[in-house]
Amino acid sequence: MKESSKLAMISTVASLAVSVLVGISTTAMAADAIRIGEINHYKRMAAFAEPYKNGVELALSEINEAGGVIGQPLEFIYRDDQGKPGEAIKIAEELVNREEVAMITGSILSNVGLALSSFAAEKKVIYLAAEPLADGLVWEKGNDYTFRLRSSTYMQAAMLAEQAAKTDAIKYATIAPNYAYGKDAVAAFKKALLALKPEVEFVTEQWPAVFKIDAGAEVQALERAKPDAIYNVTFGGDLAKFVREGTTRGLFEGRQVYGLLTGEPEYLEPLADEAPEGWVVTGYPWYDFEDGPNRVFVDAYLAAYDESPKIGSLVGYMTAQSIAAAIGRAGSLETEKLRQAFIGLEVDTPVGLITYREQDHQSTMGAFVGTTTVRDGGGVMVDWTYRDGANYLPSDEEVARMRPASQ
């Protein structure tokens, strides 16, 4: 064999060897990824779950480009629970036992979040409740293995009650979906407002089934009660129907309305120019951020997806940030070390530094409070401020009374 042929053969073999090694290296990297189980309602609530997933993916890209966590890439495994608690539990079992995830996260609906929280306590698996808002998650049904990111119903209701107490309104009506989130939201608003203004009277409470509202009947019932002000907790399609029917029948004329979550783009954008005017709401005014970490996040999201962020986008981003921070603090994927790492964990986020409280595992993520109006044919929040969640939580003594001693 000629010398040139030998050299060519050696070169070919070397190239093949490099290719094999690269392939093995790439496979090893993929196998070494830290896996997080993400359970959500991707089909049933696509308009809400997809922006959340986009936020997660944006954070993951940033985390992994910076070298990952404890030297490993971070990966989320997404599963669809169809918005059913039983299905969510089955998926959680599969993720933990077969996929060997380090922990689980996700959920929008509170009933699903409560089911996953129970699973976490029973199986001793960390669950970061990303979006469910029911207060029971961290208080009456709280446990050692469940942590919650979003500001709860209690926190956001207290922010609205603070605004309501400054007005002359005495007689209030409430309307909320008839399940855990709605019940908690009304109870929290009543408690907070009565503490600030004891003379307030609640003249009627309406409880439509979630996503099955008979808006005409609800509006009639509220009008009959002749309230000075209305506290609204409906969301999604129920909110759209309520706003349209209430506007048509003049329910909101001369009355102040307080809307929990109503200022979030997920709910305002579908209403377009039918968005209510003058409601005091919690929400996410991404369009008005001029600088700082909020603007940096919005610009990165717009660049990545060519669409505007939603509150779910922000929560998804902060979910991945929180998990990465906890793993980094723990320096391990062992459940008990992760659990300890989450307690008192501080995370630098677009809305500022948040802390996962030791006493109830609730984060101090706050909320934006402002007033709705229509601008350029769509609903927006104006005159808004960001309220630090740490200022709207019950005392340690109250938490101790509500939270199970054994957790």
pLDDT band, very low/low/confident/very high, at 180 (cuts 50, 70, 90): confident
What is the side-by-side strand order in the sheet with 103-106?
Answer: 74-80, 34-40, 103-106, 127-129, 146-148
How far is the C-alpha of 219 from the C-alpha of 246, rounded, in Å? 6
Write down the pLDDT at residue 384. 98
Buried-state track 47-77, b at ≥16 Cβ within 10 A, e below 16: ebbbbbbbbbbbbbeebbeeebbeebbbbbb
How far is the C-alpha of 348 from the C-alpha of 251, rounded, in Å? 43
Q: Average per-residue pLDDT in the chain? A: 92
Q: Enumerate the H helices of 226-306 as residue ranges.
A: 236-248, 265-268, 292-305
User: Could you report the per-residue pLDDT of 79-118, keeping only the tens digit for each?
Assistant: 999 999 999 999 999 999 999 999 999 999 999 999 999 9
107 within 8 A of 117, measured Cβ to Cβ: no
The stretch 59-69 carries a mean pLDDT of: 97
Residue 11 clears pLDDT 60, i.e. is over it? no
Write down the pLDDT at residue 404. 86
How far is the C-alpha of 109 from the C-alpha of 86, rounded, in Å? 13
User: Could you report the per-residue pLDDT of 275-324, keeping only the tens digit for each?
Assistant: 999 999 999 999 999 999 999 999 999 999 999 999 999 999 999 999 99
Residue 126 clears pLDDT 90, i.e. is over it? yes
Residue 129's closest CA among 109, 152, 153, 146? 146
How far is the C-alpha of 310 from the C-alpha of 380, rounded, in Å? 12
Residue 6 clears pLDDT 50, i.e. is over it? no
Higher pLDDT, 7 or 352: 352
- Helix (H, G, I), strand (E, B), or coil: what is residue 222? helix
Q: Tokens in use for 405?
A: 């001693």
Q: Which of 18-22, 122-126, 262-266, 295-299 has the lowest mean pLDDT?
A: 18-22
Q: Which amino acid is at 6?
A: K
372 within 8 A of 284, measured Cβ to Cβ: no
Share of the chain above pLDDT 90, in %: 88
pLDDT band, very low/low/confident/very high, at 31 (cuts 50, 70, 90): very low
Write down the pLDDT at residue 181. 87
User: Could you report the per-residue pLDDT of 344-383, keeping only the tens digit for each?
Assistant: 999 999 999 999 999 999 999 999 999 999 999 999 999 9
The answer, as to whether pTM is greater than 0.75, is: yes
* Cα dihedral sign, 14-17-21-26: positive
Higher pLDDT, 347 or 8: 347
Q: Enumerate the H helices of 214-262 as residue ranges.
A: 215-225, 236-248
User: Could you report the per-residue pLDDT of 230-288, keeping only the tens digit for each?
Assistant: 999 999 899 999 999 999 999 999 999 999 999 999 999 999 999 999 999 999 999 99
Write down the pLDDT at residue 169. 98
How far is the C-alpha of 19 from the C-alpha of 164, rounded, in Å? 67
The stretch 157-168 carries a mean pLDDT of: 98
172 within 8 A of 202, measured Cβ to Cβ: yes
Domains of the chain, first to last? 30-152+290-365 (3.40.50.2300), 154-286+369-391 (3.40.50.2300)
Residue 308's closest CA among 316, 317, 300? 300
320 within 8 A of 76, measured Cβ to Cβ: yes
